[in-house]
Structure 1
Amino acid sequence: MYVSARSDYALRAMLAVAAARTGGGGQAGGGLVKAASLAAAQGIPLSFLQGILLDLRRAGLLHSHRGTEGGYALTRPAVEITVGDVLRAVGGSLTTVRGRPAEDAGYHRVASGLGEVWLAVAGAIATVVDRTTLADLLAEGSAPGSRTDRPVRR
Structure 2
Amino acid sequence: MRVSTKSDYALRALIEIAGRTDGRPVSAEELGRLQEIPHGFLQAILGDLRKADVVVAQRGQAGGWRLSRPAADVSVADVIRAVDGPLVSVYGLRPEAVTYNESAEVLQHVWIAARDALRDVFEQVSIQQLADRKLPSEVTTRTADEDAWQPH
| TM tier relative to shorter chain | 0.7 to 0.9
Which residue does 1:40 correspond to in 2?
A: 33
TM-score normalised per structure 2:
0.85
The reply to whether residue 54 of structure 1 matches residue 72 of structure 2 is no
Which residue does 2:146 correspond to in 1?
A: none
Structure 2 counterpart SS, 1:2: coil
The reply to whether residue 105 of structure 1 matches residue 98 of structure 2 is yes
Q: Which runs of 5+ in 2 are unaligned?
A: 141-152
Partners of 2:66 and 2:40 in 1: how far apart? Answer: 19
Which residue does 1:82 correspond to in 2?
A: 75
Deviation at 1:96, TM superposition (A): 1.5
The reply to whether residue 65 of structure 1 matches residue 63 of structure 2 is no
TM-score normalised per structure 1:
0.84
Between 134-143 and 104-113, the greater mean CA deviation after superposition:
134-143
**Maintained 8 Å contact 1:137/1:144:** no
1:1-40 deviations in whole A, cap 9, x for unaligned? 11111111111111111112xx2xxxxx422100011111
Deviation at 1:146, TM superposition (A): 2.7
Partners of 1:87 and 1:144 in 2: how far apart? Answer: 21
2:30 partner letter: S
Partners of 1:140 and 1:13 in 2: how far apart? Answer: 15
Structure 1 counterpart SS, 2:23: coil
